Chain A
Amino acid sequence: MSSGVPIRAVYCGLVAAGLLLAQTGSREGARKLMTNELEAVRLPDSAFWEAGSQDHGLDPLVKKYKTSHFGILVDGPREVMLSSRETLPLFTYYMGSYRATAKRDFPRVASIVVMAPERNEIHVAPLLEKRGESLLTGETEPEANLPEGYQMIFQMVDVRRRTELPWRAGRVISQVLLWDLQSNRLETKLVAGSGAFSDPEKEKFLAAERAKQDPPAPFPAVSTAAADAPAVPQEIGIVLAAPRVVVLEKQGRLELSGAWRLPVLPEEMVKPAHAEYNKANGLVQAGGGAYAACVGVHLVVQSSEEETADVYTLRLPVAQVEMVDGQPVASGRFTVNLLQLPDFPVGEATLFLSAYSKEWASEPATIGVVDRRQQ
């Protein structure tokens, strides 16, 4: 999960732990290829735009790691000149036994998640686009017909087009999700063309302007975390927790809890001077004082019954922000009744939830929903 992501050493432990848990969640994770090994075979950035780069054997990744990695890998350029390229290619590969890949139809249900950490923006889209009049069915070959062996599927996608990614300078971190399977994360630096002059004063001005923005209102409504919500992590990161199986009755609840410790962006800081805005937008605590910050955490929800992931951005208010190494950091715990989120994909399904904020991501939480609301 930490491929290419410049996470300071102190945080690595937690992120790696998250990764390990994610992997043991699926049996195939045992043969996880560590992301740093990918570096050894990585292609020159230009190779990802070459004609036929999808074709057999052209990517050494495929040949080198064939059958040595079960799960999803992504690879792509580490740096893209905005002025000279129009696409952000992402080479994706998914390897598993025939039986496992039949259960997870990669091109149909995989999603790309792209984080722009500097703005805490998330872009999520289905991995593949289907054209024409869709006949799309998720029909898979009966298990009895499947051969013994492994299937590897690889695909070159344009992240820019798939996610409608704004074509502007900054870092982006791409990852592919296939329910509870997560790929490594690939960081790409989108840079203004070599000829373009980067004006530090202008950058400063724009940053200052963003810093003046008010954070959005808390979402969903402020509530106290459940008693069994996980403890706030010691290091920077996000942890999710949910019951593995939930029976949904009438008037039921579908709860997801979490705990987090995250850096705070200037635009996430509540501006005490903007009292009117704060009051109107629920940024004032019960006691009367304004919250210190309202931190955005994106919840990516995949359902076994749907092909597209949903994204909900939680806005979590905190009473205080502390300075760590000169950077504002906040922490908190939360419990959300997922049924109250608009258009939440509810029904008889298994839900896979992951949280993202800036450079950080949680391990996936899985909830099996037994829907008894109609009975």
Chain B
Amino acid sequence: MPDIVKEDIFEESTYKVTATIKSGLFSSKYKGKLDLLYKKGDTVLHTDPDVDVNKGVVQKDYPVPKVPDTEETYVLKIVANYGKNKEKTRVLAEATVWPKTLKLTVKDTENKPLKEVPFEVSFGSGQPTRGDTDDKGIGNVDLKKAAYELKIKAPWEVISNKNDAKKREHEIVVRRNMEAKIVKPDLTKPCWSPATEGGDTAAGVRQYVNAPKTGENGCDGDGSVIEFEVACKKLTDGLKNDKIYIKVEFSKLAERSTPVPALLAPAQGIASANNGKTLTGFVQLAADGGTAKFKLQLGYAGGETFKVSVGYSKDDPSDDTQTFVTWRKITYQLRFPKLMKVRMTEKTRKDGTKYFDLPDAVFNVVKTRLAAVFVEYENIKSHEFDPPQGAPCLVTRGYLEDSADTTPVYVIDEDLVWLGGAPSFDAVADKRETTITFCDAALDESVKTVNPTVSLKAVETNDVIIDTAVSYKYFVKRPFQADMVNLQVAGYEWVADMAAVANTDKNVKPTVKVEFVREDREDWDEYEITEPNAGTGSVVINFTGTDGLTTGDKAKLKTFYEACFDKATEIRQKNNVLTFKVSGPVADGHEAQHRDITNAFNAIRTASAKTILYHPGLDENGQPRKGPMSDVTIEHVTSRKLKFKLPKRASDTEALKPGDFVGEASAEKCPVNVTYSMVGAYTYNGHAGGGSQVLVLRNVIPEAIAATVCHELGHAMGMSVMPTASGDTIPMPPGVSADLAKHVDNGGWYYRNKSAAPYSNGFRALHQGPHCSNGMPSGKKTHQKFESWSPTGASPACIMWGSGGGEDSRTQYCENCTKILKARDLRNVRKTWAGSAEG
């Protein structure tokens, strides 16, 4: 069989018929005439009669008729009738005739033409043809020689498509039905929390803009940039390149200028209106049934609301909405000894683990006060430990406060030398993290040394006050030393306080004893008198020829008696006794002479003014007794009181010890001065620096503790904005009015201490560090110590006021501090703010 040409042709084209016809079974070229019939089915559309076939080839042009409006295509057959009587028939060619153009008219349900309705005509394989309707709602498409499919693109949904009268004139009625949705972030995930405590997430969720990660999906990473993923609500309806429009309404309260909240690429057509409060743009779906992504920069400020809407409508993209409120999360690791747990609250983490935290009564106040500046404080780890027995940090409340309370408490020093085995905090990778060490008392580095001399008047003395100033505490171990006994006595002595003893009680006449010893002397009635201990030489008395002692004899005895006083030490060695030894006759009949001598000594003793410095408090040399302080037992009863016990001698043969003669000054007793040295430390509320805090869990109302927590955190957040004495400035958040940073000398409320005059440029002579006096009567600003004003519960000040007592006198961050804190970049609360480039 010869070939039949089959092809696709357009209507109204010129069909060139070329055929070679052979005669006899076409063994040779046909020569003669033939009729060419152009047939559509059985209908002959046209006939070219008696066409001469030269050299067996026939050539003819035929204008192809249009495809009727009612038909999709038709098949054109070209048939040759030839032979002598044209009795033979052959089909020379067969072509499918395709229409050339398509017209569509798109109207809405109210029969109004719709412009810019995207449509797509596809032809099986190959590139589809796309277009948008014109102002009259009309679209014209050149067709291909293939079956076509017409689609109206999203967001339009076709309600009716009429092409009954004319197949290639589609009357299309559409309505907008496509909706976009936000696929990510997924606010149903439990990590999202309502913007307001206890609120509905639909009304807004918290985005922690100070988190270190960005570009991830919402709470999985937080950060100041959120990545959104959007799609057609019915995913499969979404077509590649569908435009989903974005509109962001931004509250713009904080005035922070960097980074500027903005839609980020790959969003397209990004525009900002309404002074930066309305951000618009669009994205296009990457594929049919696909999604598109864009990012939104929220900035670092807290308390800003971002209402993000998406939709298929350019003018009103509101198919899906999410609302974000910017918060900042600051975290803490908490460290405390187990003994403090009774004053803390047990909580449960999301994963079910239990931990101890700030007491709820305190934490709830902290939470409320920080919420005002859109800061959340979260415990991420609690470290418990047991200080070993005997650790310097471990005392009783009674010891600390001079009472009988035996509750154990934990005391640490500013330099954290006294940690009592507290574990190290976990390594801090996230600069939003702080560490808090809880304690019951914290000691200031400004210690003072006392070296008192106390006058004791009893063997045991209780309650000896160490220091006159109540605010100083003295611990068993020396503050700021790892393990050094505080009370030092080496090199010091107890001393009998003989100065306190009246002269008449310590300058006493010795006792005189007279002993008669038989000695046969040459001269009867003669005696030789000696004082073997203190006397020098002897005195000879002879009663021969006399009736008694002569005046001369008495004078000799007096001289001898008084000379003994030159040897006071020897007399004291004999317990202040002078023993006169009278050697001579002792036989009967000499009694009168003996009596005369005894009487004479008594009379001399009475008459003489000579005394010996003699007292139990004095040693043999007449010096006040003294000895090493190590003799004295000292009990450290409380942080402010000592108990002393003086030793007594063990036997009469030993030297007197202070306990033997201590007492009110008298002839037998005297006070004993004892000396020691101790280092006392000043106790304070807490401090913050470089991301670490020491916080005293004071025995006061929760609000007062909460104010301290918020105050210390305020410093970590770069408050207040006062230059240091050396001029390093704490930066203001960029874009925020410098008026907010004014200090007390230029119309504002901020102040900072300085140790020395002059007190100008906001510098004052009080507190430690940069602070805020908002709440104080403004008339007190000029005074270097604000006339000693301090806030009270009734007349409170800003949380950043520099000192706190036991009442709730610092109830909130003031208006200025609040504005600055809301605008702050809190990605790093561990840095030194002064001199930092980032505000």
Contacts and interface: CB of A to CB of B under 8 A. Distances in A.
Interface of A: 54-57, 62-63, 66-67, 98, 101-102, 105-108, 123-126, 128-141, 145-155, 161-164, 305-306, 308, 310-311, 342-343
A54 to B, nearest CB: 6
Contacts of A343: 782-784
A153 B453 contact: no
B449 A56 contact: yes
A210 B464 CA distance: 58
A135 B682 CA distance: 9
Contact of A133 (B449, B453, B687): B687
B617 interface: no
Contact of A57 (B454, B465, B677): B677
Given A132-B684, A134-B802, A139-B469, 10 more contacts: A54-B449, A56-B488, A66-B453, A107-B446, A124-B756, A125-B756, A132-B444, A135-B804, A148-B671, A149-B673
Contact of A139 (B470, B677, B712): B470
Given A57-B490, A139-B470, A163-B755, A131 B465 contact: no
Contacts of B450: 151-153
B224 to A, nearest CB: 32
B429 interface: no
A105 to B, nearest CB: 5
A162 B725 CA distance: 12
Contact of A146 (B446, B457, B465, B471): B465
Contacts of A132: 414, 442, 444, 684-687, 694, 768
Contacts of A125: 755-756
Q: Among A56, A125, A141, A305, which residue has the most Cβ atoms of chain B within 10 A?
A: A56
Given A131-B684, A149-B454, A124 B488 contact: no
A155 B677 contact: no
B796 to A, nearest CB: 16
B465 A308 contact: no
Contacts of A63: 491
Nearest to A123: B756
B575 to A, nearest CB: 30
A310 B711 contact: no
A211 B442 CA distance: 52
B463 interface: yes
Contacts of A55: 449, 679
A154 B687 CA distance: 26
B468 A105 contact: yes
Interface string B555-593: 000000000000000000000000000000000000000
B69 interface: no
Contacts of A123: 756
- Identify which of A55, A62, A66, A311 gathers the most chain B CB atoms within 10 Å of its CB: A55
B685 to A, nearest CB: 4
B470 A137 contact: yes
Given A66-B453, A130-B682, A131-B414, A137 B471 contact: yes
Interface in B748-798: 754-757, 765-768, 782-785, 788
Contacts of B685: 132-135
B507 interface: no
A108 B683 CA distance: 13
Given A128-B446, A132-B684, A163-B756, A139 B471 contact: yes
A248 to B, nearest CB: 16
B414 A57 contact: no
B283 to A, nearest CB: 52
A55 B449 CA distance: 8
A150 B675 CA distance: 9
B755 A133 contact: no
B728 to A, nearest CB: 14
B805 interface: yes
A151 B452 contact: yes
Contact of A130 (B464, B640, B684): B684
Nearest to A342: B782
B322 interface: no
A110 to B, nearest CB: 11
Nearest to B805: A135
Interface string B453-492: 1110100000111011111000000000000000010110
B454 A148 contact: yes
A106 B452 CA distance: 14
Interface string B692-725: 0010000000000000100110000000000001
B784 A131 contact: no
A56 B444 contact: no
A167 to B, nearest CB: 12
Given A130-B768, A133-B802, A164 B756 contact: yes
B720 to A, nearest CB: 14
A131 B683 CA distance: 10
Contacts of B765: 126, 308
Interface-central residue, B451, B677, B685, B687, by most chain A CB under 10 Å: B451
Contact of A136 (B448, B465, B488, B803): B803
A81 B686 CA distance: 37
A173 to B, nearest CB: 16
Closest 9 CB pairs of A and B: A102-B468, A56-B677, A132-B687, A132-B684, A133-B685, A149-B454, A148-B455, A139-B470, A152-B451
Contacts of A128: 446, 448
Contacts of A342: 782
Contacts of B446: 107, 128-131
Contact of A108 (B469, B686, B694, B768): B469
A89 to B, nearest CB: 14
A163 B454 CA distance: 35
Contacts of B783: 343
B142 interface: no
A105 B469 contact: yes
Contacts of A134: 684-685, 767-768, 802-803
Given A57-B491, A131-B446, A152-B450, A141 B468 contact: yes
Nearest to B455: A148
Contacts of B757: 124, 310-311
Contacts of B488: 56-57
Nearest to A152: B451
B445 interface: yes
A310 B755 contact: no
Contacts of B469: 102, 105, 107-108, 138-141
A126 B802 CA distance: 18
B788 A155 contact: no
Contacts of B687: 131-133
Contacts of A151: 450-452, 467-468
B366 to A, nearest CB: 15
A161 to B, nearest CB: 7
Contact of A135 (B453, B471, B490): B471
Contacts of A163: 755-756
22 contacts: A56-B488, A56-B677, A57-B490, A67-B453, A105-B469, A124-B757, A129-B755, A129-B768, A130-B684, A132-B444, A132-B694, A133-B684, A133-B802, A134-B684, A134-B685, A135-B684, A136-B471, A140-B470, A151-B450, A151-B467, A305-B788, A311-B757
Contacts of B785: 306, 308
Contacts of B452: 98, 147, 149-152
Contacts of A150: 452-453
B417 to A, nearest CB: 14
B471 A145 contact: no
A155 B468 contact: no
Contacts of B673: 149
Nearest to B684: A132
Given A107-B448, A134-B768, A310-B757, A147 B455 contact: yes
Nearest to A93: B451
Contacts of B442: 132
B468 A98 contact: yes
A342 B788 CA distance: 16
Contacts of B457: 148
A56 B708 CA distance: 35
